[in-house]
């Protein structure tokens, strides 16, 4: 399965996927292209380092979200992408792109959805005073972080934490959870029934964790 990754930032999740692929841990998933809307962002550098083709389309160059999505779509199609992986991609996608990839666009969010959607999720959770937070991998729909949930990983909020400590604890889980989900999708082990998502054959080391749903 050909994967296209879209990113806007430093790209540590992309890096985790690249590492997983190099260790044979992404199953049949292969990252064939990385696209970004921010020229020079870290994700583009990481892709180039790994020898993965890249493209840049700045949303600022397009009059509407739909025009921007059509430009992304052209590139993804050109590379034969079958699964679109958002890894810190800070734009809302429209049905112009989403309808072409039904249940084939995924995102990772640094909070336990449906709590704390949108930007600065770790700060939202920290300021709220939750004792547990984590990350969510979900299918993308036209809302903001509202699509069907595939997997969660939970982390505690410890006494003495600040927002940065929580962000890093969540990020470490993101780097474990995202490759496992991409592999499961690529291996055809993920099915969707309305809002409920079922993942078959979760690897034992992940299944044993009571704090991780995958
Ligand atoms: C991560 O926290 C992810 O959950 C969110 O954006 C951030 C991307 O970080 N969607 P990175 O660019 O992968 O380091």
Percentage of residues in the chain with pLDDT exceeding 90? 93
Give pLDDT, residue 214.
65
Q: Model-level pTM?
A: 0.95
Q: Which two tokens stand for residue 93?
A: 């996608």
How many angstroms does the Cα of residue 36 sit away from the middle of ligand 1? 13
How many angstroms does the Cα of residue 88 sit away from the middle of ligand 1? 4
Q: Do the beta carbons of residue 182 and residue 29 sit within 8 Å?
A: yes
Mean pLDDT of 34-39: 98
- Catalytic-labelled residue, pool 59, 103, 109, 138: 109
Strand partners, 152: 136
Residue 73 has, within 13 A of its CA and on its CB side, a CA count of: 15
Give pLDDT, residue 172.
97
Q: pLDDT by residue (tens digit) across 53-67?
A: 999 999 999 999 999
CA 91-92-93 angle, 5° bins: 110
Mean pLDDT of 183-211: 83
DSSP string, 92-130: ---HHHHTTSTT-EEEEESS-TTSS-SS-HHHHHHHHT-
| Minimum-distance ligand 1 atom for the alpha carbon of 14 | 13
For the chain, give the mean pLDDT. 95
Q: Is 109 annotated in the active site?
A: yes
Output the residue whose Cα is nearest ligand 1's atom 6.
88
Sheet strands side by side (includes 132-139): 54-56, 30-36, 2-7, 83-86, 105-109, 132-139, 149-156
Q: pLDDT by residue (tens digit) across 158-181?
A: 999 999 999 999 999 999 999 999
- Nearest alpha-carbon partner for 66 in 32, 101, 98: 98
How many angstroms does the Cα of residue 87 sit away from the middle of ligand 1? 6
Pocket of ligand 1 (CB under 6 A): 7, 9-13, 87-88, 108-110, 135, 171, 174
pLDDT confidence bin for 79, thresholds 50/70/90: very high
Q: Do the beta carbons of residue 63 and residue 84 sit within 8 Å?
A: no
- Nearest alpha-carbon partner for 185 in 214, 146, 208, 212: 214
pLDDT confidence bin for 213, thresholds 50/70/90: low
| Minimum-distance ligand 1 atom for the alpha carbon of 174 | 4
Q: Do the beta carbons of residue 109 and residue 135 sit within 8 Å?
A: yes
For residue 212, pLDDT beyond 90: no
How many angstroms does the Cα of residue 23 sit away from the middle of ligand 1? 22
Sign of CA dihedral 11, 117, 213, 83: negative
Q: Do the beta carbons of residue 154 and residue 212 sit within 8 Å?
A: yes
Give pLDDT, residue 210.
53
């Amino acid at each position: 399965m050909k994967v296209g990754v879209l990113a806007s930032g430093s790209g540590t999740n992309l890096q985790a996927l690249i590492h997983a692929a190099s260790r044979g841990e992404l199953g049949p998933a292969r990252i064939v292209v990385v696209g970004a809307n921010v020229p020079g962002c870290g994700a583009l550098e990481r892709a180039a380092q790994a020898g993965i083709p890249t493209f840049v389309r700045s949303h600022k160059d397009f009059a509407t979200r739909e025009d921007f999505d059509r430009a992304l779509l052209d590139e993804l199609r050109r590379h034969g992408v079958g699964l679109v992986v958002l890894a810190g991609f800070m734009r809302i996608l429209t049905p112009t792109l989403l309808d072409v990839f039904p249940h084939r666009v995924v995102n990772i969010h640094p909070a336990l959805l449906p709590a704390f959607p949108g930007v600065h999720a770790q700060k939202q959770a920290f300021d709220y005073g939750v004792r547990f937070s984590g990350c969510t991998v979900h299918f993308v729909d036209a809302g903001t972080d509202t699509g069907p949930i595939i997997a969660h990983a939970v982390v505690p909020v410890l006494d003495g934490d600040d927002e940065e400590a929580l962000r890093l604890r969540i990020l470490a889980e993101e780097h474990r959870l995202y490759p496992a989900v991409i592999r499961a999708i690529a291996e055809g082990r993920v099915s969707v029934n309305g809002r409920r998502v079922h993942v078959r054959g979760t690897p034992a080391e992940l299944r044993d964790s009571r704090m991780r749903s995958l």
